[in-house]
A = this chain, B = another copy of it.
Amino acid sequence: MENMLLHITYDGTNYSGFQIQENASTIQETVEKALGIVYKQPVRITGAGRTDAGVHARGQRANFKAPFHIPEEKLPSAVNSLLPPDVVITGAERVSDGFHARYDAKRKIYSYTIDRANFPQVLKRLYSWHIPERLDLDLMQKAASKFEGTHDFKTFQVSGSGVDDTVRTLFRVDLDNRPCEQVLVITFEGSGFLYRMVRLITGSLVRAGMDRLNLVEITGALKGENASAAGPTSPAAGLCLEKIYYELNQ
């Protein structure tokens, strides 16, 4: 059976996350249902990132074993015609038999969008965290730099995720302030991410921007000495899985 990799985009607003679960509408279930109709038999997909309830994706990937051959250029449209408008397949490619969308991911990029307008920007409300308070971007950028590099991020996860190795590398944590749009977009590129890690770090960065968390506290937290420096967990709406890299030279 051919191993196929899908490029999946979705508005997570109305879903209980990516991963399939009982009695809840998920992205995985939605895509599997459409693939099941296309291939006329049950199909299971393996997602690259298990995005949480309400989190969006412009660059999710998932692989599956195709019961029979459908040309990769025809597959997206065939599946999209069976999907609701908030889930769209934007590409498909054949990959090697052993390829695994999650285990083979080398890097991931997430973005987090903060709406800085005085009142919530109504057309961005589903895709951002509204913070009307003043944020010191200089302080935030300095705090962001502290997170870059290889650290034990065990303080910056929601426990119970059952992961043993909590060391990850963040290649960059960039702040992109866009005054015209009145948004601040924070980009996280990393080797991998713990459960709620981006949302907890974002919460810490916002506290830093309000001068309620300093660099020493962050450094301490990254040494496991200051759990109170993590978070609060920022809202799911602002988070978007942007990209998965499978080759480092992409």
Residues of A112-136 at the interface with B, using a CB-CB cut-off of 8 Å, are 117-123, 125, 127
Contact of A88 among B11, B76, B120 (CB under 8 A): B120
In the bound complex, what is the Cα–Cα distance between A205 and B194 (angstroms)? Answer: 48
Q: Is A10 an interface residue, CB under 8 A from the partner?
A: yes
Q: Is A89 an interface residue, CB under 8 A from the partner?
A: yes
Q: Is A104 an interface residue, CB under 8 A from the partner?
A: no
Q: Is A33 an interface residue, CB under 8 A from the partner?
A: no
Q: Is A162 an interface residue, CB under 8 A from the partner?
A: no
Interface size bucket, A side? Answer: 20 to 34
Q: Is A28 an interface residue, CB under 8 A from the partner?
A: no
**Interface 1/0 per residue, A169-211 and B, CB below 8 Å:** 0000000000000000000000000000000000000000000
In the bound complex, what is the Cα–Cα distance between A80 and B207 (angstroms)? Answer: 25
Q: Is A157 an interface residue, CB under 8 A from the partner?
A: no
Contact of A122 among B11, B118, B123 (CB under 8 A): B11
Q: Is A98 an interface residue, CB under 8 A from the partner?
A: no
CB pair A9–B89 under 8 Å, yes or no, is: no
Q: Is A61 an interface residue, CB under 8 A from the partner?
A: no
The 25 sampled A-B contact pairs (Cβ below 8 Å) are A9-B119, A9-B121, A9-B122, A9-B123, A10-B122, A11-B122, A11-B123, A11-B125, A56-B122, A56-B123, A58-B121, A58-B122, A58-B123, A76-B119, A80-B119, A85-B120, A85-B125, A86-B122, A86-B125, A88-B119, A88-B120, A89-B119, A90-B118, A90-B119, A123-B240
Can you add 17 more A-B contacts, CB < 8 Å, to A9-B119, A86-B122? Answer: A9-B122, A9-B123, A11-B122, A11-B123, A11-B125, A56-B122, A58-B121, A76-B119, A80-B119, A85-B122, A85-B125, A86-B125, A87-B122, A88-B120, A89-B119, A90-B118, A123-B127
